[in-house]
Amino acid sequence: MPGQAVSNTPPSIRFLIGLPTAIGLGLASVCLPVVILELPPPPGGGLFPFIFAGVEGMSLLTLILLFASGIMLGLIFSSHPLHPLVFGFATMAAFPALAIVEVAQDPFTHNLLPIEFAVYGFVSLFAVAGAYAGHALRQMARRRWRS
C-alpha cells in the first residue's frame, strides 16, 4: 500500500519530519509563482531577492499553493488535531526569520515589521485551512479502512 510506510512511522517522528517539510513547502509556495508568472525582481531586494520577489508578488496562485501544501501536510503528517495548526503556521515561519536576518544586516530594510509579520500570519491561514482539510480527509480514510 503506498501510504503504509508513512502510517507505520511513529507520530512524533512524523511530526518532526513534517515541520521542515512545511517550511520548505511554504518557501516553494511563495517562490514558485515568481518562476511561473515570470515576475521581475523588484529593486532593492535585500539579501534574498528571489524570496523578496515572491513576497512582493504574492498572488492568488501563492494562496492556492499554500492551501495545497496544507492539504498535503495534513494528509501525510498530521496525527493529532493540533498538528494542522502547527504545520499551517510553519509554512510561513521562514519569512519572519528571513526578515529579522535582513534587519540585522540593514536596519532600514523593513520599516513596518509588525505589519509584515501580521500579513505572514494571515497568509499562513490558507495553509492552516488546507492542513485541517487534509487532516479531515486522513481521518475519513482511516475510518473507511477500519470498517
Among residues of the chain, what percentage have pLDDT more than 90? Answer: 55
Asked if residue 116 belongs to a domain, the reply is yes
Between CA 24 and CA 28 the distance in angstroms is 6
Between CA 15 and CA 19 the distance in angstroms is 6
Asked if residue 102 belongs to a domain, the reply is yes
Asked if residue 2 belongs to a domain, the reply is no
Among residues of the chain, what percentage have pLDDT more than 70? Answer: 93
Asked if residue 1 belongs to a domain, the reply is no
Asked if residue 18 belongs to a domain, the reply is yes
Residue 87 has pLDDT above 70, yes or no: yes
Between CA 67 and CA 29 the distance in angstroms is 9
User: What total number of domains does the chain contain?
Assistant: 1
Asked if residue 25 belongs to a domain, the reply is yes
Between CA 13 and CA 6 the distance in angstroms is 10
Asked if residue 3 belongs to a domain, the reply is no
What's the pLDDT at 6? 56
Q: Which three cell numbers stand for residue 4?
A: 503504509
- Domain region containing 79: 10-146
- The predicted model scores a pTM of 0.87
